[in-house]
Amino acid sequence: MNRMNNLFAVVPDANVLIGLCAGEKDKFKTAETAFDDYTNKGYEFFAPNVLVAEVVFVLCQKLADGSLTRLEYETAVKAFKYYLSFIVLVPNGETSLIDRAVEIRDGYGCSRSSDAFYLALAEELAKTHDTELLTFDKGFVNQAAKNAPTVKINLLPV
């Protein structure tokens, strides 16, 4: 199947990839099941480029704080690279998302800047695809409702 020709798109948040790759006990199985379900239903995976920095940063923190051993960290990085092999990173470039992401983030703290890129991308994809944003972060629900109401949020339980 050619990328971008599919009518179904999912934008996974970094916390879903972290749960998967780091094998987080409270998130791994739920995240794995969600990824499998989306794959089996024919969804294409998309993400803003910030996903890479967010996941690598958190995996590094987990190594530094001892919640991952060196071997677990290396395994998590390999798993992340595997998942990235089928996630399209912003098909039209992030420049087109900046203005909308800033609008979406307005009224929230700067810490929600990355989230705004996920929402802006999902909103853009929703123009041509049946699109969902996949996350464990409850904050996305309110932020989307207020600033990007066309984005469907799939809030995974923890």
pLDDT in tens, 31-69: 999 999 999 999 999 999 999 999 999 999 999 999 999
Identify the H or E element spanning 153: strand 152-155
pLDDT in tens, 142-152: 889 988 888 99
Neighbours of 98 (CB within 10 A): 13
Under the banding of pLDDT at 50, 70 and 90, the label for residue 91 is low
Q: What predicted TM-score, i.e. pTM, was given to this entire model?
A: 0.90
Mean pLDDT computed over 20-25: 97
Domains and CATH numbers, the chain: 8-155 (3.40.50.1010)
pLDDT in tens, 101-139: 998 887 777 777 789 899 999 999 999 999 999 999 998
In 6-91 the beta strands, taken as DSSP E runs, fall at 8-12, 44-47, 87-89
What is the rounded CA–CA span in Å between residue 100 and residue 76? 32
Under the banding of pLDDT at 50, 70 and 90, the label for residue 86 is very high
Under the banding of pLDDT at 50, 70 and 90, the label for residue 1 is very low
What is the rounded CA–CA span in Å between residue 43 and residue 106? 30
Q: Residue 60: which of 20, 31, 22, 24 has the closest Cα?
A: 22
Strand order in the sheet with 130-135: 87-89, 44-47, 8-12, 130-135, 152-155
Determine whether 125 is exposed, middle or buried from the number of CB atoms within 10 Å of its CB (0-12, 13-18, 19+). Answer: buried
